[in-house]
Chain A
C-alpha cells in the first residue's frame, strides 16, 4: 500500500520540460546569486544578500518543483501491455 502511495507522489514531468526546467533553474539561481552578492556588497549588508538570495531560491522552487500541467503536455505514447506480457513481467 505504501508503495502505491509512493507511486502517486512521484509527479513526473515530460522530457522536454525536464530539460527546460533544469536550464531555467541554473540560470535563475546563478543570476540571483550574482545579483544578491552585488546588492549585498553595495549596501554592505549580509542580511540583504541573504534575503535576496533566499527570494531567488524560493522563486526557483516555485517555478521548477511543482508538476504544472504545462510541464506535462508532451507525454509520450508508450507501448500497451499485452496479456502475455503481464505474465512475463512477474517472471
Chain B
C-alpha cells in the first residue's frame, strides 16, 4: 500500500481473486439447482418416426469417388419439458436427437448419429411439443446401405453456461425402431 500504483494493483488483484470465489459460487449453486430441480431425469416421449431414403453421389452427402450412398431423413413426434435446465447460469441449451446402432457388415463398429438439433436460449422455448417435425440432417452410414438397421433414439442436451464447465445430460425415455422403407403408395 506504499504507492498509488501498488494500491491500485493490490485492489485489482484482490478483486480478481474474489472474482474466482464468485465464479465458484455461481458454478456450485447452479449445479445444485440442476440437481434439486431433477434436471438430469427429464421425461421424454418420441414416436411416429418415419424415414425417407434417397441415393446420393455427392461428396457432401457422404459419397466417396461417386459411389452411391444411401441417405436417410426422418419425421418424428417429440414431447418434453426442459425448463428445469434454465437457471441464472444458463446461456443456452443445445438439444439433439441421436440414434445409436451397430454396423451391419462389421458388427464391432458402433455408431452414433444426430438427426435433429435445436438451440434453446430462453426458458419459455424450453417446452418442446413437436408433431411431424422434419429431421434437420441427411444421415448416411460408413457402409453404403442404411436400411434395416436397429436404431435406438434418445434426446441429449448440452447446457452451455455463462461461466464454468459445460454440462451434458440425457432425457429419460428411449425408443427403438428398425429402419424400413415405407411401401410405395
Contacts and interface: CB of A to CB of B under 8 A. Distances in A.
Interface of A: 9-13, 17-19, 21-22, 25-26, 29-30, 33, 36-37, 40-41, 44-46, 49, 53, 57, 60-61, 64-67
A40 B87 CA distance: 11
B18 A29 contact: yes
Interface in B51-104: 87-89
Contacts of A21: 1, 7
A37 B87 contact: no
B14 A25 contact: yes
A9 to B, nearest CB: 7
Given A10-B4, A41-B29, A30 B18 contact: yes
B137 interface: no
| Chain B interface SS verdict (over half) | helix
B18 A25 contact: no
Interface of B: 1-5, 7-8, 10-11, 14-15, 18-19, 21-22, 25-26, 29, 87-89, 162
Contacts, number: 68
Contacts of A19: 1
Contacts of B1: 13, 17-19, 21-22, 64
Nearest to A50: B22
A25 B22 CA distance: 17
A9 B87 contact: no
Contacts of B26: 37, 40, 46, 49
